[in-house]
Amino acid sequence: MDILEQIRNEIEVCWVNPELGRYREVREGLRFSEADVDEAAERLARFAPLIVRLFPETSSSEGVIESPLVRVPALKSALEAQYGAMPAGEALLKCDSHLAIAGSVKARGGIYEVLKHTEDIAIAEGLIGSDYSVPGGDYSVLADHKDLFAGYTMQVGSTGNLGMSIGIMSAALGYRAVVHMSADAKEWKKALLRSHGVDVREYDSDYSVAVAEGRRLSDEDPRSYFVDDEKSKDLFLGYAVAGRRLHAQLDEMGIVVDEKHPLVVYLPCGVGGAPGGITFGLKNEFGDNVHCFFVEPVASPCMLIGLASGLDDGVDVFDYGLSGLTQADGLAVGRASGLVCEMMRHTLAGEMTVADYKLFRHMVSLHDSEGIIIEPSACAAIEGYMAMADECRGARYMERFEGTSPTHIMWATGGSLMPEEIVKEYLHNGRR
């Protein structure tokens, strides 16, 4: 059965990108450059004093929102005991599930975009200079101008976590915030946002509709800004900053990445912005020595369909007879970002898909072995790692690592804001 036929039948697959190129050659043709990532990193540094002031829990990291990278040997052993051999090499977990403020990977791109727009407004309003100078101070003074920001609106369409990141950050700065939530969004995420004073609009339809409606309403209002998950350069670059941060963390842990020590990274994918931006950031750091795989639910593999068919955002999961329905709310996207498809065409190593029931099982395995809680969407990363040992999926790709010592990173994209009773319910599901 060819891969598109397997996708139609909701069979778990591993797709290896036939168009993966040598990064040295590929990077020249890309729409963004490393200089764009530098600029994003510098902007985040300018805002660090403001972040500390608004979110004192970030003071220990001096306003840098970054997550731990941890070794997970007990998870590897637990998976081995349950399912058989795991891929050769060490296993690490990147805990974006525990990023400050938003509790998900969206604390990277989402917060970055709100800050970027805030800087634009602050310059236009004369609060800071066009050279980013602040007379006698730093960006923390922006926290004194909530009344001014209250005259502006931030809007976003979301399946949940992007809305939480944009909503919480916007509300903290004083903006009016409107989040357009698709049908997949979890009740607790809507409730949490409302508790921050965010205007949550609910839609009975899928993510694209929530985005389109948010975009339309925002366009009608000159003082409203729309964070466009499908098209945003700023979101993408905010995510990309993760690459150099991860590089520094690996150095600190004494983990080398080179030809003899390849890095294999598993990233849960929705519309593509978060895993795409991170992949771009990692490729800039490690070139051909990093191999990035996206992982999507079998019912909603929009990026896989876009890339494997070559149609990018010209096709959606419904065209393939798929429902788009998944418990992995962070990944419940029917149509991929065209921008990200373009950026990944020659940089992504491949993709895996995962059946929903496994996400809950993996959540239990991680919790019982390492005591770490992440949300079901994020557990897709664990399946990506496991698929690399599967004869029918990633094992063929692993052959190229023979004679090397690979390091595997499962990118845990969210979860620390989940209420306790929701965690209990998910773990119960997973144990059944």
Ligand X SMILES: *Cc1c(COP(=O)(O)O)cnc(C)c1O
Q: What does the binding site for ligand X look like in residue numbers (CB under 6 A)?
A: 104-106, 161-162, 268-275, 330-331, 333, 375, 377-378, 413-414
Task: State which residue has the least CB distance to ligand X.
Answer: 270
Using DSSP's 3-state secondary structure scheme, residue 287 falls into helix
- Contact (Cβ atoms closer than 8 angstroms) between residue 167 and residue 190: no
Q: Which ranges of 347-404 does DSSP label H, i.e. alpha helix?
A: 356-370, 380-387, 395-398
CA atoms within 13 A on the CB side of 397: 28
DSSP string across 257-275: -BTTB-EEEEEE-SSSHHH
> Which SS3 state, helix, strand or coil, does residue 195 take?
helix
Tokens (6 digits) for 185? 């969004």
Q: Smallest gap, in angstroms, from Cβ of residue 337 to ligand X? A: 8
Q: Which is nearer to ligand X, 234 or 375 (CB)?
A: 375
- For 6, other C-beta atoms within 10 Å of its C-beta total 15
Q: Cβ of residue 431: shortest distance to ligand X, in angstroms?
A: 21
Extract the tokens encoding 316.
Answer: 């959606």
CB of 430 to ligand X, least distance (A): 16
Minimal distance in Å, beta carbon 86 to ligand X?
A: 22
Q: Are 376 and 232 in contact (CB under 8 A)?
A: no
Nearer to ligand X, 128 or 227 (CB): 227
Nearer to ligand X, 63 or 110 (CB): 110
Contact 44, 62 (CB under 8 A): no
We find the least distance from the C-beta atom of residue 91 to ligand X, in angstroms, to be 19
Distance, in Å, from the CA atom of 12 to the CA atom of 7, rounded to the nearest integer, reads 8
Query: Quick one: 155 or 161, whose CB is closer to ligand X?
Result: 161
Provide, rounded to whole angstroms, the least separation between the CB of residue 299 and ligand X. Answer: 15
- Beta carbon nearer to ligand X, 355 or 395: 355
Of residues 176 and 215, the one with the C-beta less far from ligand X: 215
Angle at 214 (CA atoms; ends 242, 31), nearest 5 degrees: 40
How far apart, in whole angstroms, are the C-alpha atoms of residue 58 and residue 51?
Answer: 7
Cβ-based nearer residue to ligand X, 52 or 111: 111
Q: How far is the CB of 366 from ligand X (least distance, A)?
A: 14
